[in-house]
Amino acid sequence: MADHIISLQGVTKEFDTKGGKVVALHDINLDIKRGDSYGIIGLSGAGKSTLVRTINLLEQPTEGKVLFDGKALTGLASKDLNLQRRKISMIFQQFNLLMQRDAIGNICFPLEIAGVPKAEAEAKAEELLKVVDLEDRAHSYPSQLSGGQKQRVAIARALASDPEVILCDEATSALDPKTTRSILALLKKINEERGITLVVITHEMEVIKQLCNKVAVIEGGEIVERGSVQEIFANPKTKAARRLFFPDGQNKEKQITKTSTKRRVRLAYDEKTAHEPIIANMIMELGAPVNFLYANLDVLGGEQIGQMVICLADDKETAEKQKEYLANAGVKFTEIPEDYDFSEEHGEEAGE
């Protein structure tokens, strides 16, 4: 068993269009560990859909290799590729269910393709309907199901072939917020209880926050930043990441920080520090005030993560003491230069 269930090595994808060659992906290197829930986030047109389609070779990379469980998928004959594809399921934004088959029929479909006897396939499909909480809709057709129910059928269908990986291509982008949460919870459960690796393509930070432990930020066909979700959320290094992680936070920050520009620091605190009144303690202990400009608290994979922008004390000495205090308290912070332009971070809104 290879350590990495999926490895992309130097994957480049070019499309020939009327206007010439378009590079959709440029030299992508990506390793995904077994059991990870790996998010790939980017704006529309960043190349994330193309990227996920190279994993199961729905898109053939122009250059580079795709490894699944240590074995190259690129270069396989279509028959062998089809066998490997049964271990990599996929769910879609538009669900892509067969409209002429009922829920059970849809779930049986991958088993039928694999040549599983009908009775056996149906028994398994019934079982999976329970997993996705739809046992009462076994004989409903997709046209009779809501969006959330359709995605549940699609998830059951994805589970039918006992896959090692499920690729989720904007799986919740067509759903309302409440349904999105329930679908994400279901996917998380599948990831945790069955140990199925998830690759989650999305343009929404909420999806990453609720579902993923790792994340890669993709922009202009390249991965610009990657790491654990906590790490990147607490300390996003690239503009692309900041733009995606705080689409409206950044906007507010921009407004709020217009007035004071001196000695600004951006704080990030985690589960431990989020529970403690660190700033209040600091003010009391050092006897110097700070000015709050912006604050935000989020829950990431069950952990609280906070973001805050404050102005430190006016005189340099006290400000240094305050920084020291924060560092000792285990709060990560970065200083924001006086001429820092927040508006640069805030690009167009993420969305389709």
In the list 77, 78, 193, 348, the residue contacting another protein (rule: CB under 8 A) is 78
In the list 1, 19, 119, 143, the residue contacting another protein (rule: CB under 8 A) is 143
User: How many residues make contact with another protein (CB under 8 A)?
Assistant: 33
In the list 22, 72, 83, 280, the residue contacting another protein (rule: CB under 8 A) is 83
Does the footprint of another protein cover residue 96 (CB under 8 A)? yes
Does the footprint of another protein cover residue 102 (CB under 8 A)? yes
How far is Cα 136 from Cα 143, in angstroms, rounded to an integer? 16
> What number of CA atoms fall less than 13 Å from residue 293's CA on the CB side?
24
How far is Cα 159 from Cα 157, in angstroms, rounded to an integer? 5
Q: Which stretch binds another protein (CB under 8 A): 142-150, 183-191, 211-219, 333-341?
A: 142-150
How far is Cα 168 from Cα 183, in angstroms, rounded to an integer? 11
3-class secondary-structure state, position 341: coil
> Whose Cβ is closer to another protein: residue 58's or residue 131's?
58
Does the footprint of another protein cover residue 141 (CB under 8 A)? yes
Residue with tokens 């490894």: 67
> Whose Cβ is closer to another protein: residue 49's or residue 213's?
49
Nearest distance from residue 170's CB to another protein, in Å?
12
How far is Cα 78 from Cα 70, in angstroms, rounded to an integer? 18
Does the footprint of another protein cover residue 22 (CB under 8 A)? no
Does the footprint of another protein cover residue 146 (CB under 8 A)? no
Q: What is the DSSP string of 1-15?
A: --SEEEEEEEEEEEE
Does the footprint of another protein cover residue 263 (CB under 8 A)? no
In the list 98, 123, 185, 280, the residue contacting another protein (rule: CB under 8 A) is 98
Q: What are 123's two structure tokens?
A: 């028994």
> Whose Cβ is closer to another protein: residue 143's or residue 259's?
143
CA angle 338, 339, 344 (to 5 degrees): 125
In the list 11, 37, 61, 85, the residue contacting another protein (rule: CB under 8 A) is 85
In the list 50, 56, 151, 210, the residue contacting another protein (rule: CB under 8 A) is 56
Q: Where are the beta strands (DSSP E) in the chain?
A: 4-17, 20-33, 37-41, 63-68, 71-72, 88-92, 165-169, 197-202, 214-219, 222-228, 264-269, 291-300, 303-311, 332-336
List residues binding another protein (CB under 8 A). Answer: 56, 58, 78-79, 81-86, 88-90, 92, 94, 96-102, 109-110, 112-114, 141-144, 161, 167
